[in-house]
């Protein structure tokens, strides 16, 4: 499958859920519409209380005035990156995901033009960057160490563009591959330590 076919397949396969469930938060998975489609990602500010310095999609919590999951995703993307909602061609959503804190998060998927001029909101975002959809599809899961209750756990991660993409964001990408591209990427919940060796 060539790269142009990736966006065509996403358009054909993705839809909005008929049963709308109100999420506590929503993110926008924005993909550039070009020969080599890329996914828009952000690195959160190191000064934030939740998930500081982690890579994520633009998005955030529902405000009382938000009327839908789509509104949450578009509003948050505009606040964090300056992305104009009118530049987004919405194509569908993905199943609800549960964050580490138990919050239900809805991923909303849309196309955006390439070469948009986006500006990170400095109190929330340290960096805006793009990763090739093809590279994400082909990248093997790499162990990422997380310290939890005095022990090391190793979660699968992507290592691209000098960034580590893991956790909820990585799981949403794997969901995008499955539902949008009919591609089942092997993505275990945990990996063995990189130093772990199976005895023969």
Q: What is the per-residue pLDDT across 159-177, written as a single tens digit (0 to 9) for each?
A: 999 999 999 999 999 999 9
Cβ atoms within 10 Å of 132's Cβ, excluding its own: 17
Residue 140 is predicted with a pLDDT of 92
**Residue range 48-61: mean pLDDT, rounded:** 88
**Minimum mean pLDDT among 90-94, 138-142, 144-148: which range?**
144-148
Fold (CATH) for 3-136: Nucleoside Triphosphate Pyrophosphohydrolase (3.90.79)
Residue 48 is predicted with a pLDDT of 78
**Residue range 16-41: mean pLDDT, rounded:** 94
**Residue range 173-200: mean pLDDT, rounded:** 81
Q: Which among 135, 124, 150, 157 is positioned nearest to 42, based on CA atoms?
A: 124
**Minimum mean pLDDT among 2-6, 38-42, 140-144, 176-180: which range?**
2-6
**Spans of all domains in the chain:** 3-136
pLDDT category of residue 200 using cuts at 50, 70 and 90: very low
Determine the Cα–Cα distance for residues 65 and 13; give it in Å rounded to an integer: 31
Asked if 155 contacts 190 with a C-beta cutoff of 8 angstroms, the reply is yes
**Residue range 26-38: mean pLDDT, rounded:** 96
Asked if 180 contacts 39 with a C-beta cutoff of 8 angstroms, the reply is no
**Which 8-state DSSP code applies to residue 63?**
P
**Minimum mean pLDDT among 18-22, 25-29, 83-87, 166-170: which range?**
18-22
Portion of the chain with pLDDT greater than 90, in percent: 78
Residue 46 is predicted with a pLDDT of 84
Asked if 124 contacts 80 with a C-beta cutoff of 8 angstroms, the reply is yes
3-state secondary structure of 188: coil
Residue 198 is predicted with a pLDDT of 42
Residue 84 is predicted with a pLDDT of 98
**Residue range 95-103: mean pLDDT, rounded:** 91
196 pLDDT exceeds 80? no
62 pLDDT exceeds 70? yes
């Amino acid at each position: 499958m060539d790269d142009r076919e990736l966006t065509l397949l996403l358009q054909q396969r993705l839809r909005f859920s008929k049963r709308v469930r109100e999420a506590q938060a929503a993110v926008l998975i924005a993909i550039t519409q070009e020969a080599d489609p890329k996914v828009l990602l952000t690195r959160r500010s190191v000064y934030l209380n939740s998930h500081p310095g982690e890579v994520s999609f633009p998005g955030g919590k529902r405000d009382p005035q938000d009327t839908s999951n789509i509104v949450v995703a578009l509003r948050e993307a505009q606040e964090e990156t300056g992305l104009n909602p009118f530049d987004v061609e919405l194509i569908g959503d993905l199943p609800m995901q549960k964050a580490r804190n138990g919050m239900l998060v809805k991923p909303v998927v849309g196309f955006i033009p390439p070469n948009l001029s986006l500006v990170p909101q400095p109190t929330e975002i340290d960096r805006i960057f793009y990763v090739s959809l093809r590279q994400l599809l082909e990248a093997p899961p790499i162990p990422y160490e997380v310290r939890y209750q005095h022990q090391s756990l190793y979660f699968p991660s992507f290592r691209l563009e000098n960034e580590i993409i893991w956790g909820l964001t990585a799981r949403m990408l794997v969901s995008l591959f499955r539902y949008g591209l009919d591609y089942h990427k092997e993505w275990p919940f945990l990996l063995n330590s990189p130093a772990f060796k199976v005895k023969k």
